[in-house]
Amino acid sequence: MSRVEIARIPGVHSLNSKKITDERGYFEKFFDKSILESMHLNTGLDSIALSSNKVTGTLRGLHFQTFPFAEEKIVVCISGSIFDVVVDLRVESPTYRMWGATSLDSEEGKLLYLPKGVAHGFQTLVDNSKVLYAITSKYNLLSAHTLSYSDTALNISWPLPVSVISNKDETGVSLEAAVDLWAEITE
């Protein structure tokens, strides 16, 4: 499967945080309801979560939830640096079954808005990387799935060897199974 520019995946938005700097340091805003509403994006957050990753090469994902708990996410790296990946599972999308990636780091202030129907994961590029998530739906065990990060049908070019991964993420489903899971629930 081929890689596509992440900005070409429908519904994925790369945004910049608003940073105000003065002699004390800075104040940075990652969520601005009025800006998201002006873009017709979901502002109804269910939770905010932090992922702390000690070791370079740690891989998390590729996660997605099916309906009725499908979720939209805002993802920002607040410490360190990550290689962030999304896979489009939506059959009606022009980038169906394609993956896109971008680097996020704490210095640049870039964040991603991810729509329902994309699997998401990342690999840490430096030690002690932290990722902040704003999520629009609650976690539901029966709706939560993991797409295999190493599926040869995707052929994702991860930048580093995987150093740390959970058993759940190591044993994710194939791309075929993931698109079937997404399609059967949304039909």
How does pLDDT run across 131-172, given as a tens digit for each residue? 999 999 999 999 999 999 999 999 999 999 999 999 999 999
Give a yes or no: residue 13 inside a domain: yes
Judge contact between 8 and 100, C-beta under 8 A.
Answer: yes
- Confidence at residue 1, expressed as pLDDT on a 0 to 100 scale: 47
Q: What is the mean pLDDT of the chain?
A: 91
> Mean pLDDT across the stretch 12-29?
84
Give the separation between CA 119 and CA 114, rounded to whole angstroms. Answer: 9
> Mean pLDDT across the stretch 40-68?
92
Burial of residue 59, with CB atoms counted within 10 A of its CB: 0-12 exposed, 13-18 middle, 19 or more buried? buried
List CB contacts of 81: < 8 A, sequence separation 6 or more.
103, 104, 105, 106, 124, 125, 126, 129
pTM above 0.85, yes or no: yes
Residue 27 pLDDT > 60: yes
List CB contacts of 94: < 8 A, sequence separation 6 or more.
10
- Confidence at residue 178, expressed as pLDDT on a 0 to 100 scale: 95
- Confidence at residue 86, expressed as pLDDT on a 0 to 100 scale: 97
- Confidence at residue 150, expressed as pLDDT on a 0 to 100 scale: 96
Give a yes or no: residue 78 inside a domain: yes
Give a yes or no: residue 159 inside a domain: yes
- Confidence at residue 22, expressed as pLDDT on a 0 to 100 scale: 85
- Confidence at residue 186, expressed as pLDDT on a 0 to 100 scale: 53
Give a yes or no: residue 122 inside a domain: yes
Catalytic residue among 96, 133, 139, 149: 133
- Confidence at residue 109, expressed as pLDDT on a 0 to 100 scale: 83
Give a yes or no: residue 36 inside a domain: yes
Structure confidence at residue 93 as a pLDDT band (50, 70, 90): very high
For residue 26, indicate whether it is catalytic: no
Residue 28 pLDDT > 90: no
For residue 63, indicate whether it is catalytic: yes
Q: Which domain holds residue 48?
A: 6-186
Catalytic residue among 63, 113, 120, 149: 63
How many structural domains is the chain composed of?
1
Give a yes or no: residue 1 inside a domain: no
- Confidence at residue 41, expressed as pLDDT on a 0 to 100 scale: 79
Give a yes or no: residue 148 inside a domain: yes
Coil, strand, or helix at residue 105? strand
- Confidence at residue 43, expressed as pLDDT on a 0 to 100 scale: 81
> Which has more confidence, 81 or 14?
81
> Mean pLDDT across the stretch 31-56?
85
Looking at residue 27, which CATH number applies to its domain?
A: 2.60.120.10
